[in-house]
Structure 1
Amino acid sequence: MKQLLITKKRKTLKRFLIPLIISIGVAFLYFSWLSKDSIPEEYLKPIKIASTTESKILKGIGTIQPTQRELVSAPSDGTIKLLNIREGQTIKRGDILAELNNYDLEQKIHTAQLELLNISSQVSIDKSNLAIRLSQVQSELANSVMQLKQQKLELNANEALAEKGIISSIRFKQSRMQFEQNELEVEAKKAELALFKDAYEQQLIAYANKIKLAQNQLEYLNKKQSKLILTAQFDGVISQNSSKLGQVVKQGQSLFELIETNNLLAKVQVPQYSSDQLERGQAAEIITPSGRIQAKVDYIDTVIRNGSINVFLTLNSVTPNWLRSDQAIEANIYTAQQQATYNIQKPHDFNDFKHWNIFEVNANNQAVLTRINYHEVDSSQLSFEEKLSGNYVLLIPDKYTKEHTIDFNLGSSHD
């Protein structure tokens, strides 16, 4: 009896279960069919695509770098007796940064000064003696010329007296020999004066060279001492300082580093495949937390490092005072290649749904699901870069789109 009841119960359960399963299946098919055609009318209104064409932008990251970096070293051995710097300090061109003291150099300068003084004094004495001797030779020549004139007069007188027989011919001949001898003496004095003048000029040149040599030695030492005063050669900042007051340093020893701040540039890394899109002079924009700076491409380093190449950008205007060396930046480089961007109006309830699908509307009154990725431009527009064959799309929330193709009559619903 019990077995009969169990069997009867099973038959009854099957009789009710089978219709239930069929009903569920029918309901599922009905709701599937219903959901296919249950897309709200507001999402079936085609949206017109607006397109814009702009220069393709290459994006990169990098740092701000100085165009000039100077490592200041000790010009000679010495001791730092003045130090006016600290790391991070801003400096101006011509500022005195440090000064060294070199005792040996000071002694050499003192010795050179004394030597120049002694040489100048001795040269003055020697030039005076030469002038005296020149005057003596000129005086001797003048005396000889005077005597020669007197001898000429006496010779003429004796010649007249000899013709009249007042004096003997022997005496006349003696006076003529005396005159000829005086002529020879005058010529000799003239030759002596000419030679002395040549020697005198050469001696003056030698004296001048001797003084000049001593002056050059002193000037060289003074210049060497002036280099012990270290001044800024440009506006900038102290980036590193390895010196301190009273420190004894050796020639060539590094003291501190200067970075120029007036002429900064940006070193930017971009993907290596971008090299064929880059040219010198292309417009660029440097992006920092403090602001944006217009720039241009100055140099392209095509050597590949870790999948990137380096592009150097120069600023189009004066360096802003808030821009710093080694500051991290982003950059946009506007290439010659053109890139089209497509925009559509954002639905008013865009934020009510997590994901939307874009359907391309074709000429056959069909909307075909695409794989387009969009992004928000602003509060009213969405943008994508893929080109479509038509000018209209449907933008439908993901929850309403179970099919890849939607057939409908566009009629006059186009904007």
Structure 2
Amino acid sequence: MIASRRSSLRGGAAIVVVAVALSACSGSGDEPSAPPPPRPVLTVTVAPTDPQGLGYSGTIEPRFETALGFRTLGRIVSRAVDVGERVEKGQELAAVDAETLNADVRSARAQLANAKIAARTAKASQQRAQALFNDNKTVSQADLDSANQSFSAAEADLVSAKAQLAKAENALSYAVLTAPFAGVITERDADVGQVVAAGATVFKLARTDQREAVVDIPASEIGGLSVGSPFEVVLQIAPSLKVSGKVREIAPQADAVTRTNRVRILLDNPPDAFRLGALITAIPAEKAEKPVVLIPPSAILTEGGKTMVWTVDPKTKTVHRQAVVTHRDTGGRIILDSGLQTGAILVTAGVHSLEEGQKVTLSEGLAS
């Protein structure tokens, strides 16, 4: 009797425990699930791009540069200028030993003096022969013809002697190298004591009145350029100094290593600060005249033929789709035309896995 009561009590307790457990399970199912944590995202703030970032680096070079050398063989005995110095037209730059050339001039002068004496003597003989032939016929026709021939030969020798002297004096002038125009010495290839051949480069002289910016532009971006395309050229050490220019020449072939084409931009009245060799940035005029906003390619989302981006509401820290209008420049960069305001926060990674209104967290410093 007692045993049966204990069994009943144990069975009832088990039923109560099971009921409590079931009620507990059913109660936990009715409670709402916890929201997912905000997702971390990478962002950038929409802002105009510095135009220099859209330009091409290069240097200032002369429009005209001439290699200068002696027109005669010789040993350099003096040098009056060095690299970087400004020179005026006709200024002496260097000289070679002219002793042999001076001797040639002295010899030519002596020959000219001798030719003058011979010409005077021949002329006098011809005049006497002519007079005797006309008066008494004491001189034969053959003698007169011989006198005339001697006089003609003496006159020819005199002309030749004058030409030889002019040639020797001209050759002597070759011993001094002078500047054919005003400019700057950009290179020196020989020095005092060195023997140089005729025509060998001693200096390079560049004109400074016409300067140009020389830049190397990727072959993929050269298609939008042509001779006459306007550029704005900025001095890198002083970005406030700018000058306009137009493309003068585009290399027809790209460099085999860098795959770039060399472009020469003739500058319009550049200030003195744009010295030869100065580093510059050349910016296409259409990009320098108005602010340009670049969109990272990773921020672009294409849906239904439309270009979309995700923007972040800084107050609610939620993301929202935004339609934008963009285009690509010759360099493949994505440029914003419309759809975003300056200062908007743009998501730049994971744009294909976001949802409208999703909570996000911004890494410190990326959205500022």
Q: What's the TM-score, normalizing by structure 1?
A: 0.57
Secondary structure of the residue that 1:324 maps to in structure 2? coil
State the match for 1:301 in structure 2.
251
State the match for 1:218 in structure 2.
165
Deviation at 1:368, TM superposition (A): 6.4
- The answer as to 2:284 corresponding to 1:333 is yes
Conserved 8 A contact 1:64-1:266: yes
- The answer as to 2:208 corresponding to 1:257 is no
Q: Tell me the amino acid that sits aligned with residue 262 of structure 1.
A: D
Deviation at 1:87, TM superposition (A): 2.3
- Percent identical pairs in the alignment equals 20
Q: Tell me the amino acid that sits aligned with residue 62 of structure 2.
A: P
Mapping of residues 125-136 of structure 1, within 5 Å: 125-136=121-132
Match for residue 279 of structure 1 among 214, 226, 235 = 226
Deviation at 1:264, TM superposition (A): 1.8
Q: 1:139 to 1:393 in 2, by over 3 A?
A: closer
State the match for 1:288 in structure 2.
235
In the TM superposition, what whole-angstrom CA distance separates every residue of 1:33-57 from its partner, at most 9, and x where no partner exists?
A: xxxxxxxxxxxxxxxxxxxxxxxx9
Q: Where does structure 1 lack aligned partners over 5 or more consecutive residues?
A: 33-56, 145-188, 344-354, 360-366, 375-382, 407-415
Secondary structure of the residue that 1:281 maps to in structure 2? coil
Conserved 8 A contact 1:340-1:385: no
Conserved 8 A contact 1:78-1:103: no
* In 1: Cα distance, 2:345 partner to 2:273 partner: 47
Conserved 8 A contact 1:358-1:393: no
Conserved 8 A contact 1:58-1:335: no
Secondary structure of the residue that 2:202 maps to in structure 1? strand
Deviation at 1:325, TM superposition (A): 2.2
State the match for 1:89 in structure 2.
85
State the match for 1:28 in structure 2.
35
Secondary structure of the residue that 1:28 maps to in structure 2? coil
Conserved 8 A contact 1:358-1:370: no
* In 1: Cα distance, 2:28 partner to 2:263 partner: 72
State the match for 2:274 in structure 1.
323
Conserved 8 A contact 1:356-1:395: no
* In 2: Cα distance, 1:323 partner to 1:396 partner: 39
Q: 1:286 to 1:9 in 2, by over 3 A?
A: farther
Mapping of residues 1-400 of structure 1, within 5 Å: 23=31, 25=33, 28=35, 59-140=55-136, 192=141, 196=144, 203-289=150-236, 290=238, 291-305=241-255, 306-317=258-269, 319-334=270-285, 357=311, 369-370=321-322, 385-386=336-337
* In 2: Cα distance, 1:10 partner to 1:238 partner: 104
Deviation at 1:263, TM superposition (A): 1.9
Q: 1:276 to 1:90 in 2, by over 3 A?
A: same
Secondary structure of the residue that 1:304 maps to in structure 2? coil
Q: Tell me the amino acid that sits aligned with residue 87 of structure 1.
A: V
Secondary structure of the residue that 1:385 maps to in structure 2? strand
* In 2: Cα distance, 1:386 partner to 1:229 partner: 64
Q: 1:370 to 1:229 in 2, by over 3 A?
A: same
State the match for 1:43 in structure 2.
none
The structure with the larger Rg is 1
Secondary structure of the residue that 1:302 maps to in structure 2? coil
Conserved 8 A contact 1:372-1:384: no
Deviation at 1:288, TM superposition (A): 1.0
Q: Tell me the amino acid that sits aligned with residue 76 of structure 1.
A: T
* In 2: Cα distance, 1:16 partner to 1:102 partner: 118
Q: Where does structure 2 lack aligned partners over 5 or more consecutive residues?
A: 1-9, 11-15, 39-52, 295-308, 314-318, 327-333, 348-353, 359-368
Secondary structure of the residue that 2:263 maps to in structure 1? strand
Secondary structure of the residue that 1:274 maps to in structure 2? helix
* In 2: Cα distance, 1:80 partner to 1:397 partner: 69
Secondary structure of the residue that 2:217 maps to in structure 1? strand
Conserved 8 A contact 1:358-1:369: no
Matched residues, number:
292
Deviation at 1:242, TM superposition (A): 4.1
Q: 1:21 to 1:65 in 2, by over 3 A?
A: farther
Q: Tell me the amino acid that sits aligned with residue 284 of structure 2.
A: I
Q: Tell me the amino acid that sits aligned with residue 292 of structure 1.
A: K
Q: Tell me the amino acid that sits aligned with residue 28 of structure 1.
A: P
Conserved 8 A contact 1:63-1:327: yes
Q: What's the TM-score, normalizing by structure 2?
A: 0.63
Q: Tell me the amino acid that sits aligned with residue 267 of structure 1.
A: V
Conserved 8 A contact 1:105-1:225: yes
Deviation at 1:208, TM superposition (A): 2.3
* In 1: Cα distance, 2:146 partner to 2:183 partner: 59
Conserved 8 A contact 2:129-2:147: no
Deviation at 1:217, TM superposition (A): 1.3
Deviation at 1:82, TM superposition (A): 2.7
* In 2: Cα distance, 1:256 partner to 1:392 partner: 57
Secondary structure of the residue that 1:70 maps to in structure 2? strand
Conserved 8 A contact 2:229-2:247: yes
Secondary structure of the residue that 1:303 maps to in structure 2? coil
Deviation at 1:296, TM superposition (A): 0.6
